[in-house]
Amino acid sequence: MKKLLLFVSALATVAYAQKAPRIQSFQDLVKAPKEGVQGISNEKILGITLWSDDFSTPANWTIDNSGQSGVEFGWNINNTSEGWWSANGINSTSGGNSAELVNGDAQAGTQALGVTYTLTTAQPIDIAALGGNNQVSLQFEQYGARFNDLQEIQISTDGVTFTTVGNNLDKPVLSAAGGSAYTNPDLKIINLATFLSANPSPIWVRFSWTTNFPGSATSPNVWITYGWYIDDVKIVTNPTNDLSVTGSYWGSLGLPYYQIPDEQVTEIEFSADVFNGGINTQNNVTLNINANNGAWTGSSAPESIVSLDTAVLELATFYTPPATPGAISITRTITADSTDDIPANNAIANIDFTVTDFIYARDKGTPSGSTSNGTDGFEVGNLFDIFQDQTLKAINVRLPGGASGATVGTEIFVKVYSIDATTGDFLFESESAPLTLAANNLGTNLVMELEPFIDVFAGTTYLAVVGAYSAGLRVSNAGQSEPQTSFFLDLADNTWYYTTSTPMVRMNFDPILSVAEQTEITQAVVLPNPTTANATLRFDLQNTTDVTVLVTDVSGKIMQNSSFNQLAAGAQEITLAAEQWAAGIYTVRITSNGQALTKKFVKR
């Protein structure tokens, strides 16, 4: 299971790392709050409330606002919303006072930099004296939205050293490209049992806010926040029976596909990580899979999970969908002998995917945000495993339109790389002709044919990307990727990173796509690209013919103009004397018998 993830993690020579979530800029702000619906859960409560605070007595809390003063900076406790974004604040159960985190007015650009704001219980909470033990949970109601924030929940047994027990990094970023505010109010529950001893010492509870991008702390953008509201904080005893799913997995060799060509259909695996946060041992716990209303069913072997332990439930028999086009719906459930006190946290989302004629997609299909790289060029795309030999003809991409979309006039391309099984390098296989974006290319399924088409082979992993050498490209995302399965090449530093957002970049095996028109010049590529020295232009000639190679910079200045008389048919290599040229983007135009082919490359 997941052998692809293990393979990719062993990449030897490709420089790559995690691409941090993109820093949101002021232009990405949502200037009016997207109010979440009120949605406190109607589930069975956790148990007995040992301690609670609704902020009616502000002196119960200690505030450290990092040297800032005024209600527009740091934490404040009252019944008024002080922030720039939400007029009404939290719709908490108790009403009245609440705690609110603010850091200036983003619209006025007054946010403070280099701050960490904390809100801490003034006195420790003695759980043991209150009749509890380590089997307790911290719960509270919250509201706000995430931008570049790091919102953490921490505890301490000495009031000095604090341990983070939870955060809001699971919440989507709210920006002009998508996302949402928190439900108003959102009930957050954090099981403390694994952080406390059986006879716990008194604890302090802290809410901490700072930037999620400390490496960019000089940028005012990373200190922007919509705000964070807290109310009705409680410590309650844990339930008797409470299984929760802390992770789940499905896919083929480590990758989930939401569109699968009928020729690439193969076995799909399922597993779930299940935590017992209740007091009692849970017996006969199983993961159950139901495909298309009972057309196929399977279950994991039953497990007994003791309190505070986690079991990995895996199906021994894999599911192979029918190799005919059609929709597939998968239902996943966790069952046990006991009735779960909080069933919502052991629910697993249904899976819907499609077997197609020729489209291979990792994305979920509904755009939610996008990827860009500021003023720098980049490539971004997904890994695809091939299970049957097939001819790949095109790459489909989706680029967002509108004010926050890709820029009309930007020149883009698609490429396909294979992965060297020995070195882990990404090896260039094919690319498209460059396309200058028009308005009708945005917000739609854009098909970009490869030149030439390539045969992809079973047992091989390929990377399909869309890219641009300059600013203006923005690529729609749809869903989340496991680390090291979607990649981003930053052309500013020529480094491969992995990204956990899934770009809408798909393989297209459509048999009706026309064979590329036969020309004198084929298989043209510039290597390496980018380059820091001279580069090599490689291409094939169909016949013995005269060839001209013209290289120009972005201003149209001619950098190299080489003519060759009666070059022989077959493979050719020509040196591009780029070592002495300035850093930038260069265009190579190869001409023969009135036919021309254009390629671009980057000099560092």
pLDDT in tens, 346-369: 999 999 999 999 999 999 999 988
Q: What pTM did the predictor assign? A: 0.76
| β-strands 390-397, 505-508 pairing | antiparallel
Q: What is the pLDDT of residue 460?
A: 93
Q: What is the pLDDT of residue 6?
A: 37
Phi (first) and psi of residue 263, to 5 degrees: -80, -10
> How far, in Å, CA of 26 to CA of 51, rounded?
40
User: Which residue matches tokens 């009031």?
Assistant: 159
Q: How buried is 31 (Cβ within 10 angstroms: 0-12 exposed, 13-18 middle, 19+ buried)?
A: exposed
Q: What is the pLDDT of residue 468?
A: 95
Give the contacts of 123 (CB within 8 A, at least 6 positions apart). 60
Q: What is the pLDDT of residue 522?
A: 78
Q: What is the pLDDT of residue 136?
A: 95
Phi (first) and psi of residue 3, to 5 degrees: -70, -25
Q: What is the pLDDT of residue 527?
A: 85
> How far, in Å, CA of 537 to CA of 539, rounded?
7
> Which residue ranges in the chain fall short of pLDDT 50?
1-20, 41-44, 515-517
Q: What is the pLDDT of residue 378?
A: 93
Question: What's the Rg (C-alpha) of the chain?
Answer: 28
Q: What is the pLDDT of residue 516?
A: 46
CA 38 to chain centre: 27
Domains of the chain: 26-40+45-237 (2.60.120.260), 243-356 (2.60.40.10), 367-508 (2.60.120), 521-603 (2.60.40.3080)
Three-state SS string across 435-503, please?
A: EECCHHHCCCCEEEEEEEEEEECCCCEEEEEEEECCCCCCEEEEEECCCCCEEEEECCCCEEEECCEEE
> How far, in Å, CA of 407 to CA of 191, rounded?
47
